[in-house]
C-alpha cells in the first residue's frame, strides 16, 4: 500500500483524535489545575511549586460554613432532582401522548425557560418573593430551581418518548397488561437511560447553580454562593480549590457509578427485549 494512501486514510482519524483531545483539554484543563494547586503549600496560585501539603483540605472541611453550604446544596439538589424528574416526566408524557388544544404553545413555554438566562430568573424570583412578602430561604431557592430545571427534563424525556412507538404500549394493553405493567415493563426500560440522564443533569444544574441561589437564598448559603463569598479574600483561594476538587471528584464518581450500574443492569437483565418479549407472549398476568 503506498505511503501516501495510508497517510490519507489515517489523517481523518488523527484529526478527530486531536480534536477530542483539544476539547477535553479546554473542558477539564482548568479543573485539573485547580486540583493540582489545591496541594500546593502556598496561598498564591503560581509557579514555582512551594511544596506538597494537604492542610487546605483540613481547613476547608473544618469550616462550619463550608460544610453547611455543602449540606444545603445537597438537600436542595436532591429535592429539585426528584421533583423535576417526576414533574418533567409527567409533562413529557402529556405532550407526546395526548392531543389537546394549545399543546404546541405549552411545549414552547417549557422550551422558552431553557433559553432565559439564570440571572434574569434569579432577579425575577427576588422581585416576586419580595412582592408577596415571602422570606428568602432554601425553600425559595428550591422552588425557583424546580421552575428552571424541570423544563430540561421535559425536553430530554420528550425526545425519548417521541422515539418510542406508542404501538408497543397499545399492543401490551391489548394483550392483557395493566397500565402499571405496561409502564414498568415496556415504557420504563426504553426510557431508563434518558431518565437517568435527566436526573444527573437536574442534580448538576441545581448543585452548581449560583445566580438563582444568590438572589433567592437570603442568609442561607449554598456551596456556589459560599465560594463566591470567600473568594473576596485571596488567602481563601486554596481552601476553595480543595473543597471544589472534592466536590468535582464526587460528582464524577457519581456519574460514572450510575453509568456502570446501568450497563450492569442491562447486561444482567437481558436488556429491553426480554421485558418486551414477556409482554408480547402474554408472560404478564
Peptide bond into 48 cis (omega under 30): yes
pLDDT digits (tens, 9 = 90+) for 13-30: 778 888 888 888 888 787
Alpha-carbon distance of 48 to 106, in angstroms, equals: 57
CA distance linking residue 23 with residue 81, whole number of Å: 28
Please count the CA atoms within 13 angstroms of the CA of 181 that sit on its side-chain side. Answer: 18
Q: In the prediction, which pLDDT does 75 show?
A: 93
- Phi then psi dihedrals of residue 137, to 5 deg: -165, -170
Domain ranges of the chain: 34-280
Alpha carbon 27 to chain centroid distance?
A: 16
Give the rounded percent of residues in the chain with a pLDDT score beyond 90. 16
Look-up of cell digits 431508563: 192
Q: What average pLDDT does the chain have? A: 80
Say if residue 68 is exposed, middle or buried (CB neighbours under 10 Å; 0-12, 13-18, 19+): middle
Residues 6+ apart with CB under 8 A from 189: 271, 272, 275, 276
Per-residue pLDDT tens for 92-145?
888 887 787 877 888 888 788 888 888 899 999 999 999 998 999 999 999 999
CA distances from 282 to 175, 272, 277, 279 (A): 6, 16, 8, 5
Q: What is the pTM of this model?
A: 0.76
Residue 35 has a pLDDT of 82
What dotted CATH number matches 34-280?
Answer: 1.10.3720.10
77-90 confidence digits (pLDDT tens) = 999 999 999 999 88
Amino acid at each position: 500500500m503506498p505511503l501516501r494512501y495510508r497517510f490519507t486514510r489515517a489523517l481523518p482519524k488523527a484529526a478527530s483524535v486531536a480534536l477530542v483531545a483539544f476539547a477535553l483539554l479546554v473542558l477539564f484543563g482548568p479543573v485539573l489545575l485547580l486540583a493540582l494547586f489545591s496541594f500546593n503549600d502556598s496561598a498564591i496560585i503560581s509557579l514555582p511549586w512551594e511544596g506538597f501539603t494537604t492542610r487546605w483540605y483540613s481547613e476547608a472541611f473544618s469550616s462550619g460554613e463550608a460544610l453547611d453550604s455543602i449540606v444545603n446544596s445537597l438537600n436542595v439538589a436532591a429535592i429539585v432532582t426528584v421533583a423535576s424528574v417526576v414533574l418533567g416526566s409527567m409533562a413529557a408524557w402529556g405532550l407526546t401522548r395526548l392531543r389537546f388544544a394549545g399543546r404546541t404553545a405549552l411545549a414552547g413555554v417549557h422550551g422558552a425557560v431553557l433559553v432565559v438566562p439564570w440571572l434574569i430568573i434569579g432577579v425575577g424570583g427576588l422581585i416576586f418573593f419580595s412582592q408577596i412578602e415571602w422570606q428568602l430561604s432554601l425553600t425559595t431557592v428550591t422552588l425557583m430551581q424546580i421552575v428552571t430545571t424541570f423544563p430540561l427534563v421535559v425536553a430530554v424525556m420528550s425526545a425519548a418518548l417521541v422515539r418510542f412507538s406508542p404501538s408497543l404500549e397499545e399492543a401490551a394493553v391489548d394483550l392483557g397488561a395493566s397500565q402499571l405493567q405496561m409502564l414498568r415493563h415496556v415504557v420504563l426500560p426504553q426510557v431508563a437511560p434518558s431518565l437517568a440522564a435527566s436526573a444527573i443533569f437536574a442534580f448538576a444544574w441545581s448543585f452548581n447553580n449560583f445566580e438563582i441561589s444568590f438572589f433567592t437564598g437570603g442568609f442561607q448559603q449554598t456551596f456556589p454562593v459560599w465560594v463566591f463569598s470567600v473568594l473576596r479574600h485571596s488567602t481563601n483561594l486554596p481552601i476553595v480549590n480543595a473543597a471544589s476538587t472534592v466536590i468535582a471528584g464526587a460528582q464524577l464518581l457519581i456519574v460514572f457509578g450510575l453509568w456502570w450500574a446501568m450497563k450492569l443492569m442491562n447486561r444482567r437483565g437481558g436488556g429491553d427485549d426480554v421485558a418486551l418479549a414477556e409482554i408480547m407472549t402474554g408472560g404478564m398476568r
